Amino acid sequence: MFISIEILERLKSFLRVSRMTIPQTRDWWYCGVFRMYGWRDGMRPYCLLLISLSEAGSILASRIMSNSHDAPTPEELCEFISTSINETLHRRPAHVVFADSLVANTFVAVLDQIGVVVHHMNQLPSNRFSRTQTVVRRSLIEVSERARRMNTITASNICRSAGITAFASKSLAREFFISAAEFLRSHAWSWLTDLQPMEVRLPTIHKDQKMFVSILGFHDTAQIGLRLFSNLQDFQKQTFGLGGDIQGSVTHVLFVSERLASFADVDFVHEHQIDISSDVAMDNIWPVITTGYWRIC
């Protein structure tokens, strides 16, 4: 992030005056730029957030940017912080945390003028880092829900779900998305049908553990994915309509439009630069794990 010398000097001058008039607290604040958990004009709009880490994660200020295509400029972020301190909150914190180290380094010289210590997330102790991540995610959800109630943004119930990253470790989630992309590129549904179960053994879980997997997409490429069964009998019941209830677990891995995927999953893939592109569709399509029979929940 680059701030012009003119803007930097103007902001420094403003904050030197503020130091004389704006009281300082012992608070820790968090400031960040985020994609919202919702859609507007086919894009996820950007949101500026200022959160108190000292007040159980209360939202101090937020701003939904009118331009959904471009990230906020350094000048816009500067103006947001300045306005929040001088006009909205009438106080300044002792510490401000930024998610991005480049942003943090940019604002060190600025906020030092008013006696505010700047940190970036990676500098925080592990317990504070984890707690801050939780607070930030909760705040972003709250702001997004508020915007949806005001019809500022929209989102389906599907993409508002927790997603894969909610229950899988980072390394496991990464492997899942990489494997899902490889499955898409293989076009397995063009040479395997949903009538062909494959037995998969899982010796790393248990020496006798196995599952039965079948491909979705041979008859209808609008529904691409996998079905996973804990036993062969359940596969036969669901596939051939045999009588009796499903006794074990049935899981679907379905591929959907990015607009239906979990926001947390989408952000995870972008943050970790995982390539999920394929020639199956013009736009990225995303894997979602579901349970039950032909439903996304």
Decide if 122 contacts 55 (C-beta within 8 A).
no
Q: What is the pLDDT of residue 207?
A: 65
5-149 is classed CATH 3.30.420.10? yes
Write out residues in the chain with pLDDT < 70, as ranges.
1-5, 7-8, 10-20, 157-161, 203-207, 220-221, 281-284, 291-297
Q: What is the pLDDT of residue 19?
A: 64
Q: What is the pLDDT of residue 96?
A: 94
Region(s) of the chain under CATH 3.30.420.10: 5-149
Edge-first strand order for the sheet with 225-229 is 198-201, 210-216, 225-229, 250-257, 285-291
**Residue 135 CA to chain centroid, in angstroms?**
14
Please work out, in degrees rounded to the nearest 5, the angle formed at the alpha carbon of residue 213 by the alpha carbons of 207 and 217: 160
Whole-number Å distance between alpha carbons of 54 and 131:
11
Q: What is the pLDDT of residue 294?
A: 36
Decide if 52 contacts 31 (C-beta within 8 A).
no
